Homo-oligomer: A and B are copies of this chain.
Amino acid sequence: MKKPIFWPQRLPWTYLVTDRALCQGRPLTMIVEQALRGGVKVVQYREKTLPTREMIAEASQLKDLCERYGALFVVNDRIDVALAVAAPAIHLGQEDMPIKHARAILGDDVLIGISASSVEEAQIAERDGADYIGASAVFATPTKEEAPALGLAGLKAICQAVSVPVVAIGGLHLGNVSDVIEAGSAGVAVVSAIMAASDPEAAAQALVQQLEAYRY
């Protein structure tokens, strides 16, 4: 039997992706805790440069924080780090480990999210056992050079093409999160809208409140 997908509070997910470059000297763990206080329910730890040992130490702290706030902790890319801290979820991009390998290593109890930037990628991911899809980039972002943005139409096509939850990511902020939920996504992932905010708790809270209208 398939494990139940983590789905907090019957509310669209407010999903934070970390980015140390946006911390402006503030500790990453502090910003994440503020975001959790503000109501974020999924935290994806995305770290590309730290030595593995430091990554594991930080991931362990973030996992503890997420547990304390009843949020899902997701490790981006690094299955070694996910295993070391027994993370409940991993997110893999199209350049990360193929999902079949990852599933064989992690087993069925770890949630696996897969980034998709087209209907085809999303369908392949679902077929290969993805628990959720990260549709990206919905809108163009200055930080990532990628394929052309999906737009709301592209996002909607992905949401209609798969039966697993789709989290929208890319250029999302308070002013457009309602649009992406109405396009069919199960949640909104943000990076700078929270990480770069002068008050991450308030920024998270505003997003969560915006999504209250879509509680089901």
> CA separation between A94 and B53, bound complex, in Å?
8
The answer to whether the Cβ of A148 comes within 8 Å of any Cβ in the partner chain is: no
Which residue of chain B lies nearest to A56 when distances are taken between CB atoms in the complex?
A: B97
* Copy total for this chain: 2
Is B105 touching A83 in the complex (CB atoms < 8 A)?
A: yes
Is B97 touching A52 in the complex (CB atoms < 8 A)?
A: yes
> CA separation between A128 and B98, bound complex, in Å?
32
The answer to whether the Cβ of A101 comes within 8 Å of any Cβ in the partner chain is: yes
Shortest Cβ gap from A112 to chain B (Å): 13
Enumerate A82-108 residues with CB–CB distance to B below 8 Å: 83-84, 93-98, 101, 105
The answer to whether the Cβ of A51 comes within 8 Å of any Cβ in the partner chain is: yes
The answer to whether the Cβ of A54 comes within 8 Å of any Cβ in the partner chain is: yes
Enumerate A158-201 residues with CB–CB distance to B below 8 Å: none
A96 / chain B contacts, CB cutoff of 8 Å: 51-53
The answer to whether the Cβ of A120 comes within 8 Å of any Cβ in the partner chain is: no
The answer to whether the Cβ of A80 comes within 8 Å of any Cβ in the partner chain is: yes
Is A80 touching B97 in the complex (CB atoms < 8 A)?
A: yes
Which residue of chain B lies nearest to A50 when distances are taken between CB atoms in the complex?
A: B95
Which residue of chain B lies nearest to A95 when distances are taken between CB atoms in the complex?
A: B51
Is B97 touching A53 in the complex (CB atoms < 8 A)?
A: yes
> CA separation between A78 and B53, bound complex, in Å?
11
User: 5 tightest CB-CB pairs across the interface, nearest first?
Assistant: A51-B95, A79-B80, A80-B80, A52-B96, A84-B101
> Could you list which residues of chain A lie within 8 angstroms of chain B, going by C-beta atoms?
51-54, 56, 77-80, 83-84, 93-98, 101, 105
A-B contacts, 28 of them at CB < 8 A, read: A51-B93, A51-B95, A51-B96, A52-B77, A52-B78, A52-B95, A52-B96, A52-B97, A53-B94, A53-B95, A53-B96, A53-B97, A53-B98, A56-B97, A56-B98, A56-B101, A78-B80, A79-B79, A79-B83, A80-B80, A80-B83, A80-B97, A80-B105, A83-B101, A83-B105, A84-B97, A84-B101, A84-B105
